[in-house]
Amino acid sequence: MKKYQYKIVDSRDVAAAGLFKGRLREDIEAYLSSLGAQGWELVNVDFRELEGGLEFAGIMKKEV
């Protein structure tokens, strides 16, 4: 049976600068890509609009 480790990610984990409440799309893509390079896979994501900006929270998993 496969076993997984889970991680909750949030756009607030990315340094501020543009689209997502001050975070650039490229910065978020780089953040998620760096986690992917470590074996993490994004399995669920929730986008929300707050005070005119977008944020997201997601669940990532990787096999252990």
Q: What are the tens digits of pLDDT across the range 3-62?
A: 999 999 887 777 665 555 556 677 778 888 989 999 999 999 998 777 766 778 899 999
pLDDT for 49 equals 76
pLDDT for 13 equals 74
What the block records as the tokens of 32 is 């998620």
Name the residue ranges covered by the structural domains of the chain.
4-63
Element spanning 23, H or E: none
Contact status, residue 17 vs residue 27, Cβ threshold 8 Å: yes
Question: What's the CA gap between 21 and 60, in Å, rounded?
Answer: 22
Report pTM. 0.72
Q: What are the tens digits of pLDDT across the range 27-37?
A: 778 888 989 99
